[in-house]
Structure 1
């Protein structure tokens, strides 16, 4: 990302990231600070959702961009859950989430699982 001094000042939060190089799409969708940074966060997400996909279509050999699209494309997950109280400590509850492998959202959950194991 090329910036000048004014852009660096304006986008300081977005540029202040351990992930290098900084990426505005990753900031918008994955960084909780983006909700404060953008006054109309819902609008910016709507506008930003197509840009990485369009660029990936224009540059199909760009594996970094394809990886970013995969990282951001988890989408909705409909999970089943079970909550169990712990008799020894009523303030604690164990919650387990499950997803059938044949569920419509299984591929999205698999992408999320792969992404989380890469970060560990």
Structure 2
């Protein structure tokens, strides 16, 4: 994934017009947005220094320089953290094996079951792999019926045609999915398994290729997901995403329907008939 920092910075330069930052906009421009020279000028660094940074061959970059560039390019907090990860690639953990099986602690599995009576919940790992889930989450999304290698949110979103009917807000979910993968790529540079995944998705999904090229980065800590379930109909599911202590690459995602809502009643019916819930199998 060499070149990611350059691609990311170029994508963010393209969003900013000269007049947005008080610069004159004279003459025809070969590229949209700010030129590298203009970013360097506004950030208070030399043009050569900024070019080397964008080419991924610069020296260790200070917080002050990264903050200045982030300010010029109007990066939000998630984008700023992503820039830092790209500018200072993390070394692999000692003994780390790419693609190694991600284990979920027994206590986390007990927690999944403890909330399983009314709240679908699952554990999301590296590369958006779904590592564990409770029965109600399975009834909603059919994880257990999927081949083990395809229990992955990105593959599900971009490679299963049925998912577009399952998620009425599919376009938004697709962008969020790519944004999450971009964050993962920044935190784990050179991960061959993630590279294989993105190459597969790029080869099989034009929409993924378009989104990936735009370098979105999104941290979805909470929100509302709408699901059109084939058995019980529309579900409006507020969710919270919690980082698991001691497991920096695992997230606990819990859908919590509002008490007394129609969604809560529909989930209760689904829980009563969990064995009858239709399996949602990837068509890959």
Question: Which interval holds the TM-score relative to the shorter structure?
Answer: 0.5 to 0.7
| Displacement over 6 Å in runs of 4+ | none
Listed one character per residue, the Cα deviations across residues 25-59 of structure 1 (whole Å, up to 9, x for unaligned) are: 11101111111111111111121111112102211
Q: Which has the higher contact order (CA 8 A, sep 6+)?
A: 2
TM-score by length of 1: 0.52
The question of whether the paired residues in 2 share the 8 Å contact of 1:56 and 1:65 is answered with yes
Q: Which residue of 2 aligns with 1:24?
A: 153
Q: Which residue of 1 aligns with 2:185?
A: 56
Is the counterpart of residue 46 in structure 1 residue 175 in structure 2? yes
The question of whether the paired residues in 2 share the 8 Å contact of 1:28 and 1:45 is answered with yes
Shift of 1:21: 4.8
SS in 2 for 1:2: strand
Q: Which residue of 2 aligns with 1:6?
A: 136
After superposition, where does 1:90-101 map in structure 2 within 5 Å?
A: none
Aligned mates of 1:68, 1:52 — CA distance in 2: 10
The question of whether the paired residues in 1 share the 8 Å contact of 2:150 and 2:156 is answered with no
SS in 2 for 1:20: helix
The question of whether the paired residues in 1 share the 8 Å contact of 2:185 and 2:194 is answered with yes
Aligned mates of 2:132, 2:191 — CA distance in 1: 18
Aligned mates of 1:31, 1:10 — CA distance in 2: 16
Greater CA radius of gyration, 1 or 2?
A: 2
Distance 1:71 1:36, change over 3 A: same
Distance 1:22 1:47, change over 3 A: same
Provide structure 2 residue ranges, at least 5 long, that are not aligned to the other structure. Answer: 1-130, 207-284
Alignment match of 2:198 (pick from 46, 65, 69): 69
The question of whether the paired residues in 2 share the 8 Å contact of 1:28 and 1:34 is answered with yes
TM-score by length of 2: 0.24
Aligned mates of 1:21, 1:35 — CA distance in 2: 17
